[in-house]
Structure 1
Amino acid sequence: MIARCADVADVIAAVNFGRDNRLAIAIRGGGHNGPGFGSVDDGLVIDLSMMRGVRVDPAKRTVRVGAGCTTGDVDHATHAFGLAIPFGVVSTTGVAGLTLSGGHGYLGRQYGLAIDNLIEADVVLTDGTFVVANTTDSPDLLWALRGGGGNFGVVTSFLFEAHPATTVYAGPIFWELKDAARIMRWYRDFQASAPDEFYAFLGLQTVPSGDPFPREHWGKKICVLLVSHNGVAADAEKAVNAVRAALPEPIIDFAGPIPYLALQDMFDGLYPKGLHWYWKGDFVKTLPDAAIDVHIEQAARVPSDASLMHLYPIDGSVHRKAEGETAWNCRDATWSMVIAGIGSDPGQAPALKQWAKNYWEAIHPFDLGGAYPNFMKDDEGEARIKATYGDNYQRLGKLKKKYDPGNLFRVNQNVRPMA
């Protein structure tokens, strides 16, 4: 059963109906959730995809965002004012799911996670009550929403702080896999001293077979750095040129000045709807040589051209928040890692899943205990969720007891009510 909601009144009616009929409730925002928590069998889907309004206040540099928006919806609206919110790296990502689990992206080292820029949220609670959560009203709920996922209610809109972002010096630079060990060792050291405005994520993957990639490199296993510098143009070019000078000659180099909007949707065409995905994640603090060896060994066994491993930086400004300041807890990690088995052939799904699991099992001993909730599947178990939230888990459990004592909102990375 699907309730397609056009406004808050519809959401209230849907929550009341689901609760009164004892239905499992899934909340669908942008529809980008890896484990499929935006749907549920024999239950009720509260579909927010029609609630896609975006209102920018350029004077205050704030943005009101409907819970059905994708990050692309918001980027389109904010770019006209030379502003952006620190969202993810694919524009089809839903704002709600991204934000409620933390939200990291290209501007994260400079301006923090999405939740670090969340000012306020409108929420429908389990009893159908509508509340506004900010630092004055329901501040404990705002704390929980800053990383605690969809455990506490249905968020119908968000208010964010926005930041300047117009033209960035950005793009992917590709090297053959034989150079990966050198690049990863350099990247490990670079990350510790990079200025906040310089973001670079590292990937082990395959050159796509299609334009704009040169045909002679199609299908090659590679190491890639996606660099992005959101600063003064001359400084940005100088910084990326220093990267070029420090590393071997790449086989492909697409980095240059582009609109921030173009950076945000750069990879949309590579990952259309309908692909089969299985992913595993971890928070990563250090990248020792032994871990680099494991990464390269496992990446060489990639089962499809679309499958990948990415390391996304979560340092810089992210580290300047105390671990207890938001529900999102792992403020001492350096990267958020995802291993994704991806393919278009349904028959390949078991191989994609097995590769991702094998890779994760091999590298996990080098990583921290938890993971970015959006990179966790639905088979992780309560121990992994506890590890993800660490010392914040007990507080989240008590807030779950306060705001959702019957665990109505449980189709998620679930935090159970605690006395």
Structure 2
Amino acid sequence: MNAETLEALRNAVRGPVIGPEDSGYDDARKVYNGMLDKRPGAVVRCSDAADVMSAVRAVREKGLELAVRGGGHSGPGLGIVDGGVTLDLAPMRWVRVDPRARTAQVGGGGLQADLDHATHAFGLAVPSGTVSSTGLGGLTLGGGHGYLTRKYGLTVDNLLAADVVLADGSFVTVDGENHPDLFWALRGGGGNFGVVTSFTYRLHPVSTVGVGITVWPVERTREVLAWYREFLPRQAEDLYGFFAVLNVPPGPPFPEEIHGRKMCGVVWCWTGEMERLGDALAAVQEPGKPAFHFAAPMPYPELQSMFDPLLPPGLQWYWRGNFFDRISDAALDAHVTHAERLPDGLSTMHLYPVDGAAHRVGKDETAWNYRDAVWSGVFAGIDPDPAKAQTIKEWSVGYWEALQPHSMGGGYVNFLGEGEGEDRVRATYGDHYDRLARIKREYDPDNLFHVNQNVKPEDVRPAPQQ
């Protein structure tokens, strides 16, 4: 990235272009994961779709590496690239709600918190993730699951349209009728196909939800998880609960006597009638008396942001993930072993339900390949101390390796860790991979958008003559 190229980028866009010699460069290159320290040649803060179009053309003409950053939450840091250009969509954090049509259009840099705030005013919501600072772009393009998934499906099941800047710098709007193959690929195919400058979502009536947190001593992991695996899939889709192993954080709502203790537990969300919340969670006594149980009505955005204070930007992160259609007795053994080895601090394992409404969408309707998965698991090493980076990584990888034989073979694309390689990407997309590669060839034949969990363009060169 020489001075001439940097100046060409500045002339191409309206938003600021920040280079290594500029003040603010270190802040501009920061991402959510403090384990990553990448130094792009330039960070281009795009003010609108026109900036994205111009920047993509300039990057292509100069033959530069390109990364696209929305919220910056990518675990392996796929929103930033050493020496190349990061297109930062953070200035594009606008939301427009149409309460009559029950739709919301969101700028490409929008965060989950932006969407929750805007839609909650109308008593509406979109299924999304569980941390409000998550970027909607990466979340959506990977599929998107969270508290409303059993009731209303994945985020991509509620995506109605998208505005996209393609690899040649052109602009298209895609939906079920316009560029349907590209629209199919965007719904779970990651950032392989273009820069999405806006998303249009279907909204659902969600305002106040019932929130519950139940924890048991980690020594009860086997009994609690054995109960949970049978209990939750049989419940009405109004009840969602993700299973976790954790160190109890030092603060409310947890009582002081369990602060810092290793626990297993479930975080619940109830979208039914609030007077039935107690009945919906009455069964938490079945696997044994909890060490702590809390349940109360709560505005949906408050639930969505509940864990934000525990997970500020800059922590050390390493994660891996897998899909599961069952939790076998042998898997229980592995969970028990690694739960008891949980490092101190913020490291955790979550099993997120992806059944219910998500199962009523056909396997081939979107690029999300595992429609028969019941849980999406993530094994996340998290700690503020860089000296513990290797420890948390080893725990995450060890937990993942122990569960891999009991998994469905692939994982949620947003939970693939750094350096897992092409085989894991192929396993994640399964028999959808070849279709994605054909669509990639059509819309990005030179693989400009490759700083991601990459699907390579289909190779159509003739076989060599024998």
Task: Give the residue type in structure 2 aligned to 1:332.
Answer: D
Partner of 2:16: none
Query: Between Structure 1 and Structure 2, whose CA radius of gyration is higher?
Result: 2
Query: Normalization by structure 2: what TM-score?
Result: 0.88
Structure 2: give runs of 5+ residues left out of the alignment.
Answer: 1-41, 461-466
Shift of residue 378, structure 1, vs aligned partner: 2.7
Q: Partner residue of 1:349?
A: 389
Q: CA deviation at 1:258?
A: 1.0
In structure 2, the residue matched to 1:272 is 312
Corresponding residue for residue 282 of structure 1: 322
Distance in 2 of aligned mates of 1:244 and 1:212: 18
1:247 Cα deviation from its structure 2 partner: 3.2
Q: Which letter does structure 2 place at the counterpart of 1:12?
A: M
User: What is the rounded CA distance, in whole Å, between the counterparts of 2:426 and 2:98 in structure 1?
Assistant: 38
Q: Report deviation, 1:343.
A: 0.4
SS at match of 1:180: helix
Q: CA separation in 2, counterparts of 1:52 and 1:190?
A: 39
Residue number in structure 2 paired with 1:187: 228
Number of aligned residues? 418
Q: CA deviation at 1:209?
A: 2.4
- Distance across 2 between alignment mates of 1:320 and 1:236: 25
1:233 aligns to 2:274 (yes or no) = yes
Q: Give the AA of the match of 2:428.
A: T
Once residues 192 and 253 of structure 1 are traced to their aligned partners in structure 2, the CA distance between those partners, rounded to angstroms, is 21
Alignment partners' CA distance in 1, 2:274 and 2:387: 47
Deviation (angstroms), 1:192:
2.5
Distance 1:299 1:21 in 2: 49
CA distance in 1, matches of 2:314, 2:253: 22
SS in 2 for 1:171: strand
Match of 2:344 in 1: 304
Structure 1, residues 15-67: CA drift from partner, whole Å, max 9, x if none?
01111111111000111111101110010000000001100000000000111
- Relative to the length of structure 1, the TM-score reads 0.98
Structure 2 SS opposite 1:255: strand
Q: Deviations over 1:376-410 (max 9, x none)?
A: 11311111111111111000000000000000000
Q: Distance in 2 between matches of 1:240 and 1:74?
A: 29
Residue in structure 2 matching 1:213, options 254, 260, 271: 254
Deviations 1:94-140 (A, max 9, x none): 00000000000000001000000000000000001000001111111
Q: What is the aligned-residue RMSD (CA, Å)?
A: 1.0
Partner of 1:273, secondary structure, is coil
- Matched with 1:252 is 292
Deviations 1:273-318 (A, max 9, x none): 1100000100011101121111111111112220011000000011
Tell me the residue number matched to 2:450.
Answer: 410
Q: How far apart in 2 are the matches of 1:247 and 1:255?
A: 18
Listed as ranges, the gaps of 5+ residues in structure 1 are: none
Q: Which stretch of the first structure deviates more once superposed, 212-221 or 391-400? A: 212-221
Say if 1:5 and 1:47, in contact at 8 Å, map to a contact too.
yes
Equivalent residues of 2:219, 2:340 under 8 A apart: no
C-alpha contact 2:45 2:91 (8 A) present in aligned 1: yes
The whole-number CA distance in structure 1 between the counterparts of 2:428 and 2:140 is 16
Checking the alignment, whether the CA contact within 8 Å between 2:342 and 2:395 is kept in structure 1 is yes
Q: Could you say what secondary structure the match of 1:155 adopts?
A: strand
Please report how far the alpha carbon of residue 358 of structure 1 lies from its aligned counterpart in structure 2 after TM superposition. 1.0
**Letter of the aligned partner of 2:195 in structure 1?**
V
